[in-house]
Structure 1
Amino acid sequence: MQQSKSQSENGAASLLEAPIDKTLVKMTVPMIFGMITLMLFNIVDTFFVSMLGTDQLAAISFTFPVTFTVISLAIGLSIATSAIIAKALGANNKAEARFDGAVALIVSALLVIFTSFIGYLLIDPIFSLLGATPDLLVYIRDYMAVWFIGSALLITPMIGNAVLRASGDTKTPSIIMGGAGVINAILDPILIFGFGPIPALGIQGAAIASVIAWSFGVAFILYLLIIKRKLVAWEKCQQSFMSATMKMLKIGVPAASANMLTPIAMAIMTAIVATYGAHAVAAFGVGSRIESIASIVVLALSMTLPPFISQNFGANRYDRVEQAYLISLKFVLVWQFIIYLVLIALSGVIGHIFAKEQNVIDVIKLFIYILPLGYGLQGIIILTNSSLNALHKPMHALVLSIVRLFVFYLPFAYVGSLIGDLKGLFIGALIGNLCTALVSYNWFKKQITQCQSNISSQTA
């Protein structure tokens, strides 16, 4: 217990005092490995489901915007959890941080259960609205019925990992995510195609594999947080359950709303792509999952940068906040361009791995040639959003997300589709990301300057 406490305190101290670049690298590298295996949830599911046929691949592609809506709620709540706990630790309020963690676990579970229940009741209307045909709805029901029922198990590991990251520990969350990814990868082929006495469950087997993997994550994270490290506790402090809940929701609701805008935009994009046929939807679904892997470093940074910013925010170290933000942006622009070149070189191989039909392969290659060019710009947007939430400015992050998706990304993509079909749609989306990246950078610089001015006026 003493060792765990010491580790927590040392982690907090390092975020306030250690060299910024080395600290971010130390926190981010473990997250990258953990997220690679986590992202394999989608890639492995897509690969094995693609072996069932184009209809099944199109069906699971239709599910992505909906499943990501629930995941976005969980991500938003985990962002809030990390922000409030890290700020409390930065201000040396450890009892408050432990109580906030306990409240976050309870409230988040209740919200995800409610959301998934509504989604379960509305499976047919939702996917019919997205453009799914009756023959695809059969496969979608098989997958989503299990996914919605089991999604309540998804939130606890995500919130628990946010508590760990807020204290400066990114190694353990990466192990938890990686373990879940490995379990899912092992179970997928067994449950999808059958093995020995286990029957072939088809696309439904992919959903069951995910739920089982989440269950292992729940058991481990609760043991770790409550018993071993005692990072969450229902102990007396200077706040009530309701005040702690409202504090979390003040950040969590806008953050979740901002994250939910992405699957809504994806749903609209999927509906537009669906007008070009099932092969286009299947390829777009593959492209979306490739994007998840290609942006793995950005996503890892978006999970490690906020605890760093929030702790330094709690300690009024805005100089370190700004330096960390700028270092991260410069890195992702260079890194994502390298990833783009790699994807171009491997585009033909990737197409043949995930598709058998040539028209699907052609659209996958078209996607790779255009959209990944803007992943660095997308990284600027993602990191700016996470940084604004870490500064406890969730409404700014929400407005920025609205501007990105509904002022630039979707309108430019739609106009592009009218001009140049699928190629024009992808180019329009790329231009939308460029415009938003410029807005994002200037937005954050304005906010950090305002924070520094407020501190100067208070100390004057």
Structure 2
Amino acid sequence: MSSSQDLLTAPIAPTLSKMTKQVLFGMVMLMSFNLIDTFFIGLLGTEPLAAISFTFPVTFTVISLAIGLGIGTSAIIAKANGSGNVSEAKNDGQGALIMGIVLVIILASTMYLYTDEIFQALGAGDKTLPLIREYMDIWYIGSVFLMLPMIGNAILRASGDAKTPSMLMAGTGLINAVLDPILIFGFGPIPAMGIAGAAIASVTSWAVGLVVIIYVLAIKRGLIATHLIRLGELVEISRKILKIGLPAAGANMLTPIAMAILTAMIAVHGNAAVAGFGVGSRIESIASMVVLALSMTLPPFISQNYGANQWQRVSDAYKQVIKFVMIWQFAVYVLLVIVAHYIALAFSKDDPEVLNIIKLFIYTLPLGYGLQGIIILTNSSFNALHKPMQALVLSVIRLFVFYLPFAYLGSEWFGLPGLFIGCLIGNVFTAMISYQWFTRTLGSALTAEHNNDRQADASAVEPK
């Protein structure tokens, strides 16, 4: 049985569980290797570490585009697979890769030409700017090697294969971690290249990942067309992907904007509050890993069954995942509360104020991570149903109608505890809207499906 058929016929819970565990493995490995990468750069000193910190908004822009294209690619290919249009899925895969090359070259070239202006606007000083240039000039060249494996992984997940992308993430992360100390500090005949060495290590690992992913897609699995598609087909495929991918990329970029505004609100309460919130944000990224993994595995499942008009499986999968996330995240919350004091001590032994703020964060915000999971999974499910504007609107509602306004009001009325509670309340309202909106969408689709079945049955019994 092919992995594509698994998403259409296999039991829902075991299938999603297996795929999610595979994605989690890759995420954990990649996060671990990224920490190693930051550690080695930190050994170069404060200036190189600051230079890397300045690059985040720019690199995140390219990565957001890649994520958006991956979401669009996964949605259209999974739907084609679910509909049984294998040749269309293969053409879509090749088109997605070609479009990715063109877009990343345009974006990276534009950023390269205006590097100084961009980073000066971000606040980089004269000492930091040469280091940023040293790193980013290489990063821009290698960004195509970053973009294509991300799109390739989306193609694999759209076919029901979550294991290969996970292994690829882990493998490229390992290559990067091994090359970092060699290229940064030098080894034998290899000279020390400093921050440029870190960039070369990343680009090299991405290039290896690109070779592997193209081999898997084109030769081993046959998931992309090996003949060159026509220009007209490429334009149509690009239109389909961008219709979903651009709103998805935009929604992805709203989060750091909202977090910057929230950080400014928190800064009013002092440096200890900012430090405590920074620690809390790192805790959140770890505590929400299962939700993030599900946001990569649920959409291909939904898209394939959408393509096959199996709306009941779409509904069952969504509701089962939501139920699981609420139970799982509540268990995570209980565990965090039990070990809150020890987590706070690990990050701040010498400052009682920071320690108390970390504990306040843990007691408050993780209580809403299950609700936040509903929002994230509903957002990705709308994209999977080729409804990207609903997903974008949902992100805007969450961040700028509820999350930030309630945080501001809570801060004004009750200080920092009120701010955290305001964020929690914002998630409550958005989760309610998310669930009701998506279940209504599913209800309409199920009603239409039942009506079509009844009409088909009536036609079958009509006398000839």
Query: Given the two structures, how large is their TM-score scaled by the length of structure 1?
Result: 0.85
Distance, in Å, in 2 between the alignment partners of 1:353 and 1:145 is: 37
Whole-Å separation in 2 of the counterparts to 1:212 and 1:158: 15
Partner of 2:104: 112
Match of 2:152 in 1: 160
Corresponding residue of 1:93:
85
CA distance in 2, matches of 1:212, 1:413: 43
The C-alpha deviation readout for 1:314-369, integer Å capped at 9, x for no partner, is: 11111110110011111112222333344455556656767898599646665545
- Choose from 298, 316, 329 the match for 2:322: 329
1:130/1:270 contact within 8 Å kept: no
Aligned pairs (5 A) from 1:197-212: 205-212=197-204
Match of 1:83 among 75, 93, 116: 75
Task: Please show how residues 13-28 of structure 1 align to structure 2 within 5 Å.
Answer: 13-28=5-20
Q: Percent identity?
A: 61
Q: Distance in 2 between matches of 1:359 and 1:202?
A: 37
Q: Which region of structure 1 is more displaced relative to structure 2, 84-93 or 103-112?
A: 103-112
Residue type matched to 2:321 in 1? S
8 Å CA contact 1:50, 1:355 repeated in 2: no
Q: What is the rounded CA distance, in whole Å, between the counterparts of 1:272 and 1:177 in structure 2?
A: 36
Structure 2 SS opposite 1:329 = helix
* Amino acid corresponding to residue 259 of structure 2 in structure 1: M
Give the stretch that moved more between structures: 395-404 or 409-418.
409-418
1:23-75 deviation per Cα after TM superposition (whole angstroms, max 9, x unaligned)? 11122111111121123344334445556667766665554444333222111
Please tell me the residue identity of whatever aligns with 1:446: R
Cα distance, 1:228 vs structure 2: 1.9
Residue of 5, 12, 35 corresponding to 2:27: 35
Partner residue of 1:455 out of 440, 445, 449: 449
The one of 165, 168, 171 equivalent to 1:179 is: 171
- Stretch deviating more after TM superposition (177-186 or 134-143): 134-143
Q: Secondary structure at the match of 1:97?
A: helix
Amino acid of the structure 1 residue aligned with 2:208: F
Distance 1:134 1:158, change over 3 A: same
Q: Contact between 2:275 and 2:354, CA under 8 Å: does it hold in 1?
A: no
Shift of 1:257: 1.7
Query: What displacement does 1:163 show?
Result: 0.9
**Per the alignment, do residues 311 and 355 of structure 1 end up closer, same or farther by CA in structure 2, a change over 3 Å counting?**
same
- What SS class does the counterpart of residue 151 from structure 1 fall into? helix
TM-superposition CA deviations, 1:411-432 (whole Å, max 9, x none): 3334444456655544433332
| Pairing partner for 2:372 from 362, 367, 378 | 378
Shift of 1:203: 5.4
Offset, 1:246: 1.1
CA–CA distance in 2 between the matches of 1:144 and 1:162? 26
Q: 1:235 to 1:187 in 2, by over 3 A?
A: closer
**Distance of 1:304 and 1:14 partners within structure 2:** 13
Partner of 2:312: 319
Question: What is the alpha-carbon distance in structure 2 between the residues aligned to residue 123 and residue 284 of structure 1?
Answer: 31
Q: In structure 1, what residue type is equivalent to 2:13?
A: D
More deviation, 226-235/325-334: 226-235
AA in 2 matched with 1:430: L
- AA matched with 2:256: P
Matched-pair contact (CA < 8 Å) for 2:273–2:354: no
**Cα distance in 1 between the residues matched to 2:126 and 2:352:** 22
- Over 3 Å counting, the alpha-carbon distance change for 1:158 and 1:349 in structure 2 is farther
Give the aligned residue type for 2:382.
Answer: L
Any conservation in 2 of the 1:61–1:281 contact (CA below 8 Å)? no
Post-superposition offset of 1:285: 5.3
Deviates more, 1:360-369 or 1:102-111: 360-369
Which runs of structure 2 are paired with 1:174-253 in the superposition (5 Å)?
174-192=166-184, 205-235=197-227, 240-253=233-246
Alpha carbon RMSD of aligned pairs, Å?
Answer: 3.5
Q: Which moved more, 1:175-184 or 1:91-100?
A: 175-184
**1:265 alignment partner in structure 2:** 258
Is 2:308 the counterpart of 1:308? no
After superposition, the Cα gap between the structure-2 partners of 1:291 and 1:195, relative to the gap in structure 1 and judged at 3 Å, is farther
Q: Does 1:430 align with 2:424?
A: yes
CA distance in 1, matches of 2:340, 2:182: 29
State whether residues 66 and 263 of structure 1, in contact with CA within 8 Å, keep that contact through their aligned partners in structure 2. no
Match of 2:62 among 54, 70, 73: 70
Question: Any conservation in 2 of the 1:183–1:213 contact (CA below 8 Å)?
Answer: yes
Whole-angstrom CA distance in 2 between matches of 1:352 and 1:58: 26
Offset of 1:161 from its aligned partner? 0.9
Whether the 8 Å contact between 2:75 and 2:384 is mirrored in structure 1 is yes
Structure 2 unpaired stretches of 5+: 456-464
Distance 1:131 1:435, change over 3 A: farther
C-alpha distance in 2 between matches for 1:35 and 1:179 = 11
Q: Structure 2-normalised TM-score? A: 0.84
1:344–1:369 contact (8 Å) kept in structure 2 = yes
Instruction: Give distance in 2, aligned partners of 1:355 and 1:149.
Output: 40
Aligned CA distance change for structure 1 residues 135 and 338 (closer, same or farther; 3 Å): farther
Q: Deviations over 1:89-114 (max 9, x none)?
A: 11111000000000001112222332
More off after superposition, 48-57 vs 83-92: 48-57
- CA displacement 1:158-209 (0-9 Å, x = unmatched): 1111111111111111110111222233334445555556566565554443
Asked if 1 retains the 8 angstrom alpha-carbon contact of 2:69 and 2:241, the reply is: yes
Residue 404 (str. 1) matches residue 398 (str. 2): yes
Tell me the equivalent position of 2:331: 338
Q: What are the Cα deviations for residues 200-230 of structure 1, in whole angstroms up to 9, with x where unaligned?
A: 6565554443323222211110111112222
**Paired residue type of 2:234:** F
What is the rounded CA distance, in whole Å, between the counterparts of 2:364 and 2:54 in structure 1?
22
Question: Counterpart in 2 of 1:4?
Answer: none
* 378 and 83 in structure 1: CA distance in 2 versus 1, 3 angstrom threshold: same
Structure 1 counterpart of 2:462: none
Q: Which amino acid aligns with 1:24?
A: L
Name the SS of the counterpart of 2:392 in structure 1. helix
